[in-house]
Structure formats: structure tokens, C-alpha cells
Amino acid sequence: MSVTHSLDTSTSRANPVPSPLKRLTVPKLQAMKGSEPIVMLTAYTARMAQLLDPHCDLLLVGDSLGQVIYGLPSTVPVTLEMMCAHGAAVVRGSWHAVVAIDMPFGSYEASPEQAFASAARVLKETGAAAVKLEGGEAMAETVAFLVKRGIPVVGHVGLTPQAVNALGGYRARGRDEAEAAKILADARAVAEAGCFALVLEGVMEEIAAEATRAVSCPTIGIGASATCDGQVLVTEDMLGLFERTPRFVKRYDDLAARISEAAATYAGEVRSRAFPTEDQIYRTK
């Protein structure tokens, strides 16, 4: 069953929504390599998508929603149902950017066929244009299987958070030669298998630069230096919603403090009966 529905502009709380632009396409994004930097942010809700969409080329419904939205300890428990529900919301809230949706842990690794069934469900239920999956050489056959069947794929190598239990943490990758060579081999493998963009997460600058030169698709870095063809951050990190953020995050705001302040002011006004005022109440004439 499709849950894509379109946004009802008469009941939406948002300002009048911008008139629909023609959405960017996967081939247009691919063609940005070597010309314009690709701007990508995560989004999990319709309203956040509305706010970010005019500024972004790609919106990623990341499985980081497990930690950011659900307070889970990692991305491992995230389900296909969660990704479909949030993916559909982001598609409803956007008109311009390509929307890519993370395939959650356990929904694609067993076989190319399992990956196809999961990815087809994601695209049908959300209306998104692409999926993202983690893994290098081991996932190349799966990437090729999906791409040949019409499913655009974003690859993701380097630090792959779904493998946290095997990696033993979230430290940046590629500090020794063997690890660096493996990351480069992973990048080449999924790029040659046909992914249209490649996320490089938490890798040394030299590896990002070499991978960006080596692959024909755009690379999108997160903690992977300015040598990549584009950049992605978790939106809530860059907005300053969390006290602790990794070194590679630049905070563009301090929303946690501002939300806390607004909530404290509201609480004070409720307790002192300063809210609601005449302006916020209904009266019979």
C-alpha cells in the first residue's frame, strides 16, 4: 500500500508551501562531479524537509534517525518500517532535492534478492528516488543487482555505523596502510558496480582525495575533508541540538539552548498564569 499521499497545503501548519519546482534527478546529480559541490543533509520529518529542501541537492533519510529521533544506542535496531514512514514524510515535504533513503541493517545484506525486495518496498512506499546502503567489496554484487533493475544506489564506505559491533566503535578509519587500501578498494568496487554517489564517512583526508580521484561518481564526505565532491551532515548535529558532537561537525546554530530557553519561558508563564492572554483565547461574542 502506498503511503506517499501529497501534502495538503490547506491543513499544513507550514507557511504557504513553495510552488513545486522540478525535482533534481539522479543523472543531474551524477553530472555535478567535478563542477559544483553537492549539498546533502539528513531529514526525517516533513517539516524539516520543507525547511532544508530549497538549499539541498540531496536529502538523506538516514538510519541515524535511530539515535536522533528514537534515542536508540546505534543504528542497528532501525527497521524497514521506520525508514518507510520517515521516508514518505520527507518526500511529502520536499519538491526540489533528490531523496535517498537508508536501507537499515538486516534488510539487504543476506542476498541481492533480499536487497531488491527491501529497496523496492522503500521506493514504492515512500516515493523516494534512491536508496543508500553501507559496505564495499562485499556489497558490490548487490549494488550491481539493484542498479541493473532500475534502483539508484548511494554507496557508503569508510566508517560504516551499522558495523559498529564489528568495528568496536566510531573512530575514523584508514590510519594504517592496510585499512587505507581496503577503503580505496571498497570505494572502487561499489562505484564500478554502479552507485551514482558515494558517501565517504570518517576517513583520513588522503584517502578521501584518492577515492574522489579514483571513482567516476561524486563522493560525498562526512568527516572526510573538503576534497570530496560534496558534503553531508546530520542536520540535528549542525543545528546544535546535541551537547556532544563528533570533531567533524560544524555547529551552525545552538538550537538546544534556544529550545530550552523557550520551554523555560513557557513554563514560567503557565505557572504565573501569564499565558494564555486575551490574544490566545476563544470567547462567544
Q: Where on the chain is the footprint of ligand KIV (CB under 6 A)? A: 42, 60, 62-64, 102, 156, 199, 201, 222, 232, 234
- Whose Cβ is closer to ligand KIV: residue 7's or residue 238's? 238
CB of 61 to ligand KIV, least distance (A): 8
Of 118, 43, 132, 28, nearest to 79 (Cα)?
A: 118
Integer Cα distance of 224 and 202 in angstroms? 5
For every residue of 200-244, DSSP letters joined together read: EESB-HHHHHHHHHH-SSPEEEESS-TTSSEEEE-HHHHTT-SS-
- Whose Cβ is closer to ligand KIV: residue 52's or residue 199's? 199
- Whose Cβ is closer to ligand KIV: residue 65's or residue 204's? 65
- Judged on CB neighbours under 10 Å (0-12, 13-18, 19+), 190 is buried
CB of 62 to ligand KIV, least distance (A): 2
Q: Residues in the chain, how many? A: 285
CB of 150 to ligand KIV, least distance (A): 23
Q: Within a 10 A sphere around the Cβ of 257, how many other Cβ atoms? A: 11
Given a contact cutoff of 8 angstroms between Cβ atoms, the answer to whether 240 and 256 are in contact is yes
CB of 76 to ligand KIV, least distance (A): 12
Integer Cα distance of 101 and 61 in angstroms? 5
Helix axes 112-126, 140-148, angle to 10 degrees: 50
CB of 21 to ligand KIV, least distance (A): 24
Catalytic residue, chosen from 109, 134, 179, 201, is 201
Query: Is residue 125 flagged as an active site residue?
Result: no
- Whose Cβ is closer to ligand KIV: residue 104's or residue 194's? 104
- Whose Cβ is closer to ligand KIV: residue 7's or residue 224's? 224
Given a contact cutoff of 8 angstroms between Cβ atoms, the answer to whether 180 and 206 are in contact is yes
Catalytic residues: 201
